[in-house]
């Protein structure tokens, strides 16, 4: 379904026709993908290349007594068996995590989660490496595993991280935000308070392409080249250099085409380090590519927050205060991928879209015998958890007060004239118009009709109940500013380098890294808009640290807010210089030259027929440059955003709940998003569709589960369920436009909004179908049996 605004939009070019801002330019990169010419890590083949297979622990918690690789080495095609001892020689047995913890590359002493990396087998092909891995004999002394944060913090829980000097329990850190005293005061004075405990289960980003690399040490140039699945090639280059001791100018990271990242490809994993070490030692290229179960069981997971929320309000539903307490499971290492000064990510944005007087949050994080991780999966650093908490709590409060959940939101929204707005936990929202987005969504959803239908079904004791769920979320994306946000100390700016060729086409190099978001198209559109060039005449390059300007990569929907700004500023620098060249070519004074966005040309003020295009100017820059300027036409910008951007939206989900089976059907799914000025509406819609699918996966089926022995029981696609086309309904998408006041082109990010915003709308809908019988919460994933249980408890089953 398309936007309701004035019916379907023209297929291409709805602006000035050159493929600038707001035009539905078809994706330039798709020709390569749909003709089978994509180039992913596993497509890379090098002469003399070896293959790496990792030997993994079957136990979650065990001491390693002995590793014997001799039977593996006896196989013809096996070249080497590596253990922690071999890596120790090169100082590579451990690596730093992004949160300053130290993770084993290969286990030296004690295994801390199932499938942890214990040894590596290097062989001439992948099958031989796998055969070799099966022959490596490891003797384990099995220990009691600690599964679940609550159990981990019990007094008698086995200590997982005994190797750390200051660690005699499984507690990692405590964190606090807001004003406890002020919040207690509004709670004491409140007419009503509500409380609900809710778990945001452990998820996995599960990109279709798993993680992998080809490491190639060149002893001739003393240079390490690593082609890898990286969302942040430059940051990874710096970390690689720091960990390996190879000088940074001798490290080249290349991200070729990346088959989905969703946050999974932000951290560095042991496999990368092992492959690089093996290539260095053996002086041959080494490929390592994970299998699906390795990806789900060992690489960065998401969420795993056990949250208790409380709201205080007046009896007419004015929210006065919010409290939240969280128990966070970080797995065996603190390896969350987020700005280092934010141990709980941006979770403290939990006041959401509402003007709330006082707020307080606290959190305790624990080590458990499970894979490390903690933020990835389309989340903007824990905003997903924060949005889930507040949007669920508003529904709980609405039910308590018997108020319409749309109405209670309206009564509490930050008013549109209150921006810039500082929240109770200190965030500076740039712009918003929440009521407008909600009104639009209500209209698109035919809200009143479904409320009536819901009532009718209840009165008729119908077999299928109707539930209507709303989420009016606010996102925060676009980290920096560099002074607040860094990765391993590197400030989170981003960059663009624009070079216009003598024949009038251009190459834009950016520091961010597309994983499917369509940057090769949308970044070209920014340049097309700013320079009056045709979008087809601009090539966007990314992902090679030897040629691209330094950037912090793509995650947290930061590409548009940060690198998009850098691209616009670089283009404007080029435009400034172009003006002087235009003056020279048109034989006019520079102050008389005007840029006309509509025609994409420069002309002499008052004489529009005396005009010149960027192509002609480009020729002038190289073939007839004015004496006042250097030859050439290029510019670079490193952009440190003054603030983050705050996209938002209202989602309305209407479900039918089957009282006999507990099955949930989506009757209607409305998503109204506001990401400020829109670069490419078609790409935005694709982002929304994909993100909503992931939101449905989250709410309905995805869960990395463990049994009491620490076995990952939800660690492959038989057990970790992803939604397919069958589970995904049609979406009705709409939009409002509230530009970001501080962004050069007024744009905010959008990639994460649908995954952040939709799970509470879906849970609110299922709860809403049963709330007349007193149901206040259903835990995710809301599988049919979980929903049936809730129906049964409320005596609603047939």
Residues involved in catalysis: 231, 378-379, 752
Q: Which residue from 114, 351, 370, 554 is in contact with ligand MCN, where contact means CB under 6 A?
A: 554
Nearer to ligand CUN, 555 or 706 (CB): 555
CA neighbours closer than 13 Å in the CB half-sphere of residue 794: 21
Nearer to ligand CUN, 19 or 482 (CB): 482
In the stretch 637-676, what mask flags binding to ligand MCN with x, by CB under 6 A? --------------------------------------xx
Q: Which residue from 369, 454, 557, 711 is in contact with ligand MCN, where contact means CB under 6 A?
A: 557
Of 606, 617, 615, the C-alpha closest to 582 is 617
Distance CA 55, CA 118 (A): 6
In the stretch 232-271, what mask flags binding to ligand MCN with x, by CB under 6 A? ----------------------------xxxx--------
Number of residues counted as binding ligand MCN (CB under 6 A): 35
Distance CA 206, CA 381 (A): 17
Nearer to ligand MCN, 95 or 688 (CB): 688
Nearer to ligand MCN, 304 or 520 (CB): 520
What's the 3-state SS for 85-116? HHHHHCCCCEEECCCCCEEECCCCCEECCCCC
Residues 524/508, Cβ–Cβ less than 8 Å: yes
Residues 255/228, Cβ–Cβ less than 8 Å: yes
Nearer to ligand MCN, 266 or 356 (CB): 266
Nearer to ligand CUN, 333 or 346 (CB): 346
Angstrom CA distances, 788 to 357, 401, 663, 664, stand at 38, 26, 8, 10
Nearer to ligand MCN, 143 or 508 (CB): 508
Locus of tokens 């449905």: 696
C-beta of 738: minimal distance to ligand MCN in Å?
Answer: 11
In the stretch 178-217, what mask flags binding to ligand MCN with x, by CB under 6 A? -----------------------------x----------
Distance CA 622, CA 628 (A): 14
C-beta of 643: minimal distance to ligand MCN in Å?
Answer: 15
Nearer to ligand CUN, 279 or 560 (CB): 560
Distance CA 773, CA 786 (A): 16
Q: Applying CB under 6 A, does 683 fall inside the site for ligand MCN?
A: yes
What does 690 interact with, of ligand CUN, ligand MCN, none (CB < 5 to 8 A by kind)?
Answer: ligand MCN
Nearer to ligand MCN, 447 or 648 (CB): 648
What does 516 interact with, of ligand MCN, ligand CUN, none (CB < 5 to 8 A by kind)?
Answer: ligand MCN
Of 793, 783, 779, the C-alpha closest to 662 is 783
What does 305 interact with, of ligand CUN, ligand MCN, none (CB < 5 to 8 A by kind)?
Answer: none
C-beta of 621: minimal distance to ligand CUN in Å?
Answer: 38
In the stretch 489-518, what mask flags binding to ligand MCN with x, by CB under 6 A? --------------------------xxxx
Could you tell me the two tokens for 675? 């990401």
Instruction: Enumerate long-range contacts of 444-450, CB under 8 Å, 24 or more apart.
Output: 444/4, 444/652, 444/670, 444/672, 444/732, 444/734, 445/652, 445/654, 445/668, 445/670, 445/732, 446/668, 447/406, 447/652, 450/654, 450/667, 450/668
Q: Applying CB under 6 A, does 684 fall inside the site for ligand MCN?
A: yes
What does 749 interact with, of ligand MCN, ligand CUN, none (CB < 5 to 8 A by kind)?
Answer: ligand MCN
Nearer to ligand CUN, 261 or 480 (CB): 261
Of 670, 677, 668, 652, the C-alpha closest to 736 is 677
Could you tell me the two tokens for 345? 């990510």
What does 370 interact with, of ligand MCN, ligand CUN, none (CB < 5 to 8 A by kind)?
Answer: none
Which helix (H) or strand (E) element contains residue 235?
Answer: helix 233-244
What does 680 interact with, of ligand MCN, ligand CUN, none (CB < 5 to 8 A by kind)?
Answer: ligand MCN
- Give strand pairing partners of 177: 361
Which helix (H) or strand (E) element contains residue 608?
Answer: strand 607-612
Query: Of 752-771, which residues contact ligand MCN (CB under 6 A)?
Result: 752
Specify the pairing of strand 223-228 against strand 251-254: parallel
Nearer to ligand MCN, 74 or 208 (CB): 208
Q: Is 41 helix (H, G, I), strand (E, B) or coil?
A: helix
C-beta of 262: minimal distance to ligand CUN in Å?
Answer: 6
What does 212 interact with, of ligand MCN, ligand CUN, none (CB < 5 to 8 A by kind)?
Answer: none
Nearer to ligand CUN, 263 or 695 (CB): 263
C-beta of 310: minimal distance to ligand CUN in Å?
Answer: 27
C-beta of 354: minimal distance to ligand CUN in Å?
Answer: 23
C-beta of 414: minimal distance to ligand MCN in Å?
Answer: 21
Of all residues in the shown chain, the one whose CB is closest to ligand CUN is 263
C-beta of 263: minimal distance to ligand CUN in Å?
Answer: 2
Distance CA 478, CA 643 (A): 8
Could you tell me the two tokens for 94? 């451990």
Nearer to ligand MCN, 64 or 675 (CB): 675
C-beta of 232: minimal distance to ligand CUN in Å?
Answer: 9
Q: Applying CB under 6 A, does 690 fall inside the site for ligand MCN?
A: yes
C-beta of 556: minimal distance to ligand CUN in Å?
Answer: 4
Angstrom CA distances, 581 to 88, 584, 610, 712, stand at 59, 5, 14, 64
Residues in contact with 549: Cβ distance below 8 Å, sequence separation at least 6, in sequence order: 495, 496, 497, 509, 510, 511, 636, 638
C-beta of 300: minimal distance to ligand CUN in Å?
Answer: 9
Q: Applying CB under 6 A, does 702 fall inside the site for ligand MCN?
A: no
Q: Which residue from 559, 637, 738, 758 is in contact with ligand MCN, where contact means CB under 6 A?
A: 559
Count CB atoms within 10 A of the CB of residue 194. 20
Of 762, 666, 771, 683, the C-alpha closest to 387 is 762
Q: What is the DSSP letter of 658?
A: E
Distance CA 349, CA 177 (A): 10
Q: Applying CB under 6 A, does 749 fall inside the site for ligand MCN?
A: yes
Of 404, 436, 441, the C-alpha closest to 419 is 436
Q: How many residues appear in the chain?
A: 798
Residues 309/241, Cβ–Cβ less than 8 Å: no
Of 135, 378, 379, the C-alpha closest to 261 is 378
What does 135 interact with, of ligand MCN, ligand CUN, none (CB < 5 to 8 A by kind)?
Answer: none
Which helix (H) or strand (E) element contains residue 635?
Answer: strand 634-639
What does 361 interact with, of ligand CUN, ligand MCN, none (CB < 5 to 8 A by kind)?
Answer: none
What does 375 interact with, of ligand MCN, ligand CUN, none (CB < 5 to 8 A by kind)?
Answer: ligand CUN
Q: Which residues bind ligand CUN (CB under 6 A)?
A: 231, 261-263, 266, 375-380, 555-556
Residues 18/537, Cβ–Cβ less than 8 Å: no
What does 496 interact with, of ligand MCN, ligand CUN, none (CB < 5 to 8 A by kind)?
Answer: none
What does 694 interact with, of ligand CUN, ligand MCN, none (CB < 5 to 8 A by kind)?
Answer: none
C-beta of 514: minimal distance to ligand MCN in Å?
Answer: 7
Could you tell me the two tokens for 679? 């670069």
C-beta of 22: minimal distance to ligand MCN in Å?
Answer: 9
Which residues are near ligand MCN by CB under 6 A?
207, 260-263, 378, 515-519, 522, 554-560, 675-680, 683-684, 687, 690, 747-752
């Amino acid at each position: 379904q398309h936007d309701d605004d004035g019916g379907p939009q023209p297929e291409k070019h709805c602006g000035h026709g050159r493929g600038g801002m707001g035009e539905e330019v078809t994706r330039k990169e798709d020709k390569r993908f749909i003709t089978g010419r994509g180039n992913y890590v596993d497509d890379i083949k090098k002469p003399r290349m070896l293959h790496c297979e990792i030997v993994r622990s079957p136990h979650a918690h065990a001491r390693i007594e002995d590793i014997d690789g001799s039977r593996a080495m006896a196989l013809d095609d096996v070249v080497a068996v590596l253990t922690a001892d071999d890596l120790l020689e090169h100082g590579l047995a451990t690596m730093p995590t992004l949160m300053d913890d130290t993770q084993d590359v290969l286990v030296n002493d004690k295994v801390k989660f199932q499938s942890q990396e214990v040894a590596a087998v290097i062989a001439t092909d992948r099958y031989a490496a796998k055969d070799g891995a099966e022959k490596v004999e490891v003797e384990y002394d099995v220990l009691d595993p600690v599964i679940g944060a609550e159990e981990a913090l019990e007094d008698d829980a086995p200590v997982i991280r005994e190797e750390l000097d200051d660690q005699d329990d499984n507690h990692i850190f405590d964190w606090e935000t807001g004003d406890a005293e002020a919040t207690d005061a509004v709670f004491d004075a409140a007419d009503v308070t509500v409380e609900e405990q809710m778990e945001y289960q452990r998820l996995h980003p599960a990109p279709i392409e798993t993680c992998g690399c080809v490491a190639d040490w060149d002893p001739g140039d003393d240079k390490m080249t690593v082609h890898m699945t990286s969302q942040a090639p430059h940051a990874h280059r710096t970390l690689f250099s720091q960990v390996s001791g190879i000088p940074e100018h001798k490290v080249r990271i290349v991200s070729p085409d990346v088959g989905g990242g969703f946050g999974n490809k932000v951290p560095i994993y042991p496999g990368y380090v092992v492959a690089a070490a093996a290539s260095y030692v053996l002086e041959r290229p080494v490929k390592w590519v994970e299998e699906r179960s390795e990806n789900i069981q060992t690489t960065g997971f998401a969420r795993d927050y056990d949250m208790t929320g409380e709201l205080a309000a007046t009896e007419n539903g004015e929210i006065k205060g919010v409290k939240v307490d969280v128990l966070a499971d970080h797995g065996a290492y603190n390896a969350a991928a987020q700005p280092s000064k934010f141990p709980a990510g941006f979770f403290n944005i939990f006041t959401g879209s509402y003007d709330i007087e006082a707020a307080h949050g606290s959190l305790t994080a624990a080590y458990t015998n499970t894979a490390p991780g903690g933020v990835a999966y389309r989340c903007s650093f824990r905003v997903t958890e924060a949005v889930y908490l507040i949007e669920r709590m508003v529904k709980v409060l609405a039910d308590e007060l018997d108020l319409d959940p749309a109405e209670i939101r309206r009564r509490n929204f930050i008013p549109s004239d209150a921006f810039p707005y500082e929240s109770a936990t200190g965030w500076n929202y740039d712009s918003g118009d929440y009521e407008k987005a909600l009104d639009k969504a209500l209209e698109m959803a035919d809200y009143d009709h479904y409320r009536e239908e819901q009532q009718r079904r209840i009165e008729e004791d119908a077999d299928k109940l109707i539930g209507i769920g709303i989420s009016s979320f606010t996102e925060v994306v676009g980290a920096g500013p560099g002074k607040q946000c860094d990765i391993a100390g590197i400030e989170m700016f981003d960059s663009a380098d624009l070079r216009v060729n003598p024949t009038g086409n251009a190459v834009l190099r950016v520091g961010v890294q597309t994983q499917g978001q369509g940057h090769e198209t949308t970044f070209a559109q920014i340049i097309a808009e700013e320079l009056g060039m045709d979008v087809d005449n601009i090539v966007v390059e990314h992902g090679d640290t030897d040629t691209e300007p330094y950037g912090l990569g793509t995650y947290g929907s930061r590409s548009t807010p940060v690198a998009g700004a850098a691209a616009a500023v670089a283009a404007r620098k080029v435009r400034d210089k172009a003006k002087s060249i235009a003056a020279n070519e048109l034989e006019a004074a520079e102050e008389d030259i005007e840029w006309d966005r509509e025609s994409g040309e420069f002309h002499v003020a008052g004489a529009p027929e005396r005009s010149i295009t960027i192509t002609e100017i480009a020729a002038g820059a190289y073939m007839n440059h004015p004496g006042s300027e250097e030859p050439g036409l290029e510019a670079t910008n490193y952009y440190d955003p003054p603030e983050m951007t705050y996209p938002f939206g209202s989602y309305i989900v209407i479900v039918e709940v089957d009282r006999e089976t507990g099955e949930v059907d989506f009757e209607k799914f409305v998503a109204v998003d506001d990401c400020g000025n829109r670069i490419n509406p078609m790409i935005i819609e694709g982002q929304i569709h994909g993100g909503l699918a992931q939101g449905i996966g989250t709410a309905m089926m995805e869960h990395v589960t463990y049994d009491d022995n620490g076995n990952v029981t939800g660690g492959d696609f038989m057990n970790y369920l992803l939604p397919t086309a069958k589970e995904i309904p049609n979406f009705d998408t709409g939009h409002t436009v509230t530009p970001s006041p501080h962004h050069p082109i007024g744009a905010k990010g959008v990639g994460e909004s649908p995954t952040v915003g939709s799970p509470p709308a879906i849970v609110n809908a299922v709860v809403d179908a049963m709330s007349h019988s007193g149901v206040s919460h259903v835990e995710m994933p809301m599988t049919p049996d979980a929903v049936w249980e809730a129906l049964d408890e409320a005596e609603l089953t047939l």
